[in-house]
Homo-oligomer: A and B are copies of this chain.
Amino acid sequence: MQNRQGCAPGQPAAIFKTLAHPVRIAILDLLRHGEECVCHMEAILDKRQAYISQQLAILRAAQIIADRRDGMNIFYRVVRPEIYVLLDAACAMSTLPTTTPSAVIRRESCPCPKCTPVVAIAD
């Protein structure tokens, strides 16, 4: 079963999993300005180099960032700017208080399969 214009539910979960880490988010935030070298991230994030490199490897495997060598340093940059739509939306949700509006659709009867054939509702 597919949904959202043919996007299997497994794929977005993978993206969310990649982003579900404070350090990886911090790295992506650093890269908003443009590319940045590893040693710089190391200094700003105050984490050990090997650790930063691990997180970079995860982001790189997810094809969110790419690297470029310049002399002795390696510079990382974001190759999927759309990622910032996700970051900004998540951040907005974090700060906003829980608004409880939402369209509550009332139904006469229970929509469970005992009342209504599943296929009809699953669409």
Contact = CB atoms under 8 A, between A and B. Distances in A.
A63 B72 CA distance: 47
A83 B86 CA distance: 10
User: How many identical chains are in the complex?
Assistant: 2
Contacts of A23: 9
Interface residues of A, number: 75
Interface SS of A by simple majority: mixed
A96 B118 CA distance: 31
B104 A68 contact: yes
Contact of A43 (B86, B104, B112): B112
28 contacts: A5-B95, A6-B95, A7-B91, A9-B25, A11-B90, A11-B91, A12-B19, A12-B87, A12-B91, A13-B20, A16-B90, A17-B20, A37-B111, A40-B110, A43-B118, A44-B121, A44-B122, A70-B110, A72-B110, A77-B102, A77-B103, A77-B104, A77-B105, A79-B99, A79-B101, A79-B102, A81-B102, A85-B89
